[in-house]
Amino acid sequence: MNQDLMFFEAEAEAAEAAKCDAQRAAEQHERDAKAAAKVLLQVARNKIKAEKQAKTEDWRRRTAQARTYKNPDEHAMCGIRWYCRSQKDRDTGCYWHNCHKCGQPLIYTSDPHAKPQICKADTA
């Protein structure tokens, strides 16, 4: 259809084409806005997830620290008697300082292969 259009027909067709172009541009703008909103939502979700993970890691670190604070890490042996102390015990000073049988001072160590002290109460 290679036909020349009259002036008013060409003007009407140009207006229709402009209207279609404007509608396509509006649809494209809407698609872009939806894509941007999707990206922002994903960023917000990732931020919430990261905060939750950081909270969890902090809680795990604090509980592990409390556990190691209370767990015995040093021991002393006097004869067959076994004495243990933890960092909490050392901070509060609440642990056995002397053998309760013979009264000699206890030597605490973290070496698992340390030889025990000889209890004076067992030899006497």
Structure confidence by residue, pLDDT tens digits, 56-113? 999 999 999 999 999 888 999 998 899 999 999 989 989 999 998 899 999 999 998 8
Q: Where are the domains of the chain?
A: 1-70, 74-123
Coil, strand or helix at 24: helix
Structure confidence by residue, pLDDT tens digits, 26-65? 999 999 999 999 999 999 999 999 999 999 999 999 999 9
Burial pattern 10-21, b for ≥16 Cβ within 10 A else e, equals eeeeeeeeeeee
Question: In 1-124, at which residue ranges do the beta strands (DSSP E only) sit?
Answer: 74-78, 81-85
> In angstroms, rounded to a whole number, what is the distance separating the alpha carbons of residues 16 and 100?
103
Do residues 100 and 123 lie in contact, with contact meaning Cβ atoms separated by under 8 Å?
Answer: no
- Residue 59: CB partners within 8 Å, gap ≥ 6? none
% the chain with pLDDT above 90: 55
